[in-house]
Chains A and B, each alone.
Chain A
Amino acid sequence: MNGRPDSDGRQTGDQSPARKGKRAAAGRRGPARGEWFGVAALVLCLAASAGLTRWLELRRPPQATAAAQVSEDLYVTPRAARRLALGFNGVAADWYWLRALQYVGRKALTHRGDLQIDDLGPLNLQALAPLLEQATTLDPQFLAAYEYGAIVLPSVDAEAAVRLVEKGIRENPQAWRLHSYLGYIRWQQGRFAEAAEVYSVGARVPGAPPWMGAMAAQMSAKGGSRETARAIYEVMLRTTDDEQTKLLAFRRLVQLQSLDEQDALRRLLTAHRERAGRCASGWRELSPPLRAARLNVDASGTPFDPTGVPYKLLAERCDVELGERSEVLRNY
């Protein structure tokens, strides 16, 4: 038989040129009626399903608040996750890293009030340490995760932060920056001798910059001083790749500058009181010594903090404090 089955399985047999032409013309006219029904059914059903979804959403009980939804179950232990990753460790570590960032972000969004990345204690970030532990077990060379933990974790669980960074040092013995972060945690805890030791060990890592050794010496000599704090944040600002950490270091440096300025203002107020027998009633009275001290003052002699807000004179206490609109950090 020369014919071949058509789409319905019927034998079509030979076709004359006229019939072929007719069929071709029919084909050119566009989809058959049945096809139009199919397209219409597809569009209508998709639209109906979208409508039903919307209807069901509106009738669903109100969802729990975002804070209540923050439940970061790890599902598997870090070691098991490493085994199950099947060579996709990097991607799995990235996934836990993104989860950690999202976890902190969601908690921060639901919090009312000012927050600093190094003071997230009020957020109760219980799952952060396990998430970072998971990410760094899957990818032990994930330096960003260790550094983030060193900045954020101390206010949540300082010992977890120390464990994380020490693990990072074990896994990455050449990463001198991790020594500086561990020193930073110890410095925050007020354990200056240990901080000095950490900086000293870090200074011996090949490729470590000279300031690591200087930091060790400074930490031993005057660990709790403002000078040491300034040195730590200047280094952090210079060396970190993380924008949030950069911002933190910058704001802490601004805070330190403001603290220095407030000390200078207090000295001038005290000197004026000793000289005049009373406290200055306004900044104008102190204008010449303020200018002499190279403080940032306007034409009326009012001193400004580094964020451009005037310092507030507390005449009754003969003291100074930040203006209400000041963006200088107030916590230490």
Chain B
Amino acid sequence: MNGAAAAAAERVIAGDSQQDKSDAGGRAREGGSAPARRSALGRVSAIARNAFREAVRDRVLYNLVLFALLLTGGAIFLGELSAAQEVKIIADMGLSAMLLFGVFIATFVGVGLVSKEIERRTVYAIFAKPVGRGEFLLGKYLGLCLTLAVNVAVMGAGVSLALAYVRGGYDPLALKIWPAVALIFFELTIIVAVALLFSSFSTPALSALLTFAVFVIGHFSADVKSFADGGGAAARALFGALYYLLPNFSHFAYITDAGHGRTPEPAAFAAAVLYALVYVTALVSASALVFKRRNFK
């Protein structure tokens, strides 16, 4: 077992604040004091913080540099190309890039949340301590969601700044994009949960493929519904079930509206957030059930 992973496992259990701040590269705790017992929430929180730090160490947030370059280039060059539509195009481009980068992070980091721990054998160190498998999964999930929240917030700020730049000052769109930004984040939380579910029983490559497939199908929900409405009884049952069981990402699709300065209705926004929370709870619960049955011997 490598030192970093062991130290991380120790920290997860100990929840020592100084350890949280210590170099993640991993010096083992000195003194070997008995790990303090923490509440389930504390253990989940410690795992989440470690997952976040691990993502930062893995340079996941470097995608922000690419995003900044994209926005800067767009802000400078689109004015000449877009016939006075640069504000709309920057909002569309920024929010779409936010979703695209987020989906890649959610998928590829999400499928590695569990498999990396198993591959490195750090799960043995963690599960030797009083940490439940469900707590471990939830902590990992929340850690990646925190990474995505930081990512999306910084990108949202970048889009707002780019809009202010092209307008030469404050533009109302700089604020109006934020509900769409929030909904992008909630869409990503579902994708992370999907990735986590697949990775709890499948290989990373297959999990990534399946997660991306769910992302695609989730955006075809209108077609799935039309198949259900237009087919025979069997097709209606099959596609109807798929329509309600698969995640419906059209609830979160406000990027195009945001480009026109339109914000979702408060009720629709709240319902979409609730939908994400409910769906994520279902998926994380399913992941925990599968993961609990998994044999690591």
Is the pairing of A and B real? yes
Interface residues of A (CB under 8 A from B): 83, 86-91, 93-94, 97-98, 101-102, 139, 141-142, 144, 148, 241-244
- Some 11 contacts from A to B, beta carbons below 8 A apart, are A87-B219, A88-B100, A90-B92, A90-B96, A93-B92, A94-B88, A94-B93, A98-B81, A141-B260, A142-B88, A241-B84
Q: Which residues of chain B (89-119) have a CB below 8 Å from chain A?
A: 89, 91-93, 95-96, 99-100
Establish whether residues B92 and A242, one from each chain, have CB atoms under 8 Å apart when the complex forms. no
Give Cα A87–Cα B84 distance, bound, in whole angstroms.
24
Establish whether residues B256 and A90, one from each chain, have CB atoms under 8 Å apart when the complex forms. yes
Given A101-B82, A242-B84, residue A94 in contact with residue B99 (CB < 8 A): no
Q: State which of A91, A102, A148 has its C-beta within 8 Å of the C-beta of B92.
A: A91
Establish whether residues A93 and B256, one from each chain, have CB atoms under 8 Å apart when the complex forms. yes
Establish whether residues B255 and A88, one from each chain, have CB atoms under 8 Å apart when the complex forms. yes
Proximity string of chain B (241-261) to chain A, C-beta cutoff 8 Å, 1 when within and 0 when not: 000000001101101110110
Give Cα A231–Cα B50 distance, bound, in whole angstroms.
68
Proximity string of chain B (43-74) to chain A, C-beta cutoff 8 Å, 1 when within and 0 when not: 00000000000000000000000000000000
Establish whether residues B83 and A91, one from each chain, have CB atoms under 8 Å apart when the complex forms. no
Establish whether residues A90 and B259, one from each chain, have CB atoms under 8 Å apart when the complex forms. yes
B290 in contact (CB, < 8 A):
no
The distance from the CB of A89 to the nearest CB of chain B, in whole angstroms, is 5
Establish whether residues A89 and B83, one from each chain, have CB atoms under 8 Å apart when the complex forms. no
Give Cα A101–Cα B88 distance, bound, in whole angstroms.
15
Establish whether residues B92 and A86, one from each chain, have CB atoms under 8 Å apart when the complex forms. no
Give Cα A292–Cα B38 distance, bound, in whole angstroms.
98
B91 cross-chain contacts in A, Cβ below 8 A: 90
Establish whether residues B219 and A244, one from each chain, have CB atoms under 8 Å apart when the complex forms. no
B88 cross-chain contacts in A, Cβ below 8 A: 90, 94, 142, 144
Establish whether residues B256 and A89, one from each chain, have CB atoms under 8 Å apart when the complex forms. yes
A244 cross-chain contacts in B, Cβ below 8 A: 83
Given A94-B85, A94-B92, A241-B84, residue A87 in contact with residue B255 (CB < 8 A): yes
The distance from the CB of A45 to the nearest CB of chain B, in whole angstroms, is 26
Establish whether residues A98 and B92, one from each chain, have CB atoms under 8 Å apart when the complex forms. no
A83 cross-chain contacts in B, Cβ below 8 A: 220, 223
A97 cross-chain contacts in B, Cβ below 8 A: 82, 85, 89
The distance from the CB of A79 to the nearest CB of chain B, in whole angstroms, is 10
Give Cα A94–Cα B260 distance, bound, in whole angstroms.
12
Give Cα A244–Cα B85 distance, bound, in whole angstroms.
13
Give Cα A251–Cα B106 distance, bound, in whole angstroms.
54
A90 cross-chain contacts in B, Cβ below 8 A: 88, 91-92, 95-96, 255-256, 259
Give Cα A243–Cα B86 distance, bound, in whole angstroms.
13
Give Cα A328–Cα B216 distance, bound, in whole angstroms.
55
Establish whether residues A94 and B83, one from each chain, have CB atoms under 8 Å apart when the complex forms. no
Q: Which of B81, B215, B262 lies at the interface centre, i.e. has the most chain A CB atoms within 10 A of its CB?
A: B81
B95 cross-chain contacts in A, Cβ below 8 A: 90
The distance from the CB of A90 to the nearest CB of chain B, in whole angstroms, is 4
Q: A87-B249, A148-B83 are in contact. List 14 more A-B contacts (CB 8 A).
A: A87-B255, A88-B100, A90-B91, A90-B95, A91-B92, A91-B96, A94-B82, A94-B92, A97-B85, A101-B81, A139-B256, A241-B84, A243-B83, A243-B84
Q: State which of A86, A141, A148 has its C-beta within 8 Å of the C-beta of B256.
A: A141
Establish whether residues A144 and B85, one from each chain, have CB atoms under 8 Å apart when the complex forms. yes
Closest residue on chain A to residue B81 by CB atoms: A98
Closest residue on chain B to residue A172 by CB atoms: B260
Closest residue on chain A to residue B216 by CB atoms: A86
The distance from the CB of A156 to the nearest CB of chain B, in whole angstroms, is 17
Give Cα A278–Cα B212 distance, bound, in whole angstroms.
87
The distance from the CB of B54 to the nearest CB of chain A, in whole angstroms, is 24
Give Cα A91–Cα B91 distance, bound, in whole angstroms.
9
Q: Which residues of chain B (214-231) have a CB below 8 Å from chain A?
A: 215-216, 219-220, 223
Give Cα A187–Cα B286 distance, bound, in whole angstroms.
64
Give Cα A102–Cα B81 distance, bound, in whole angstroms.
8
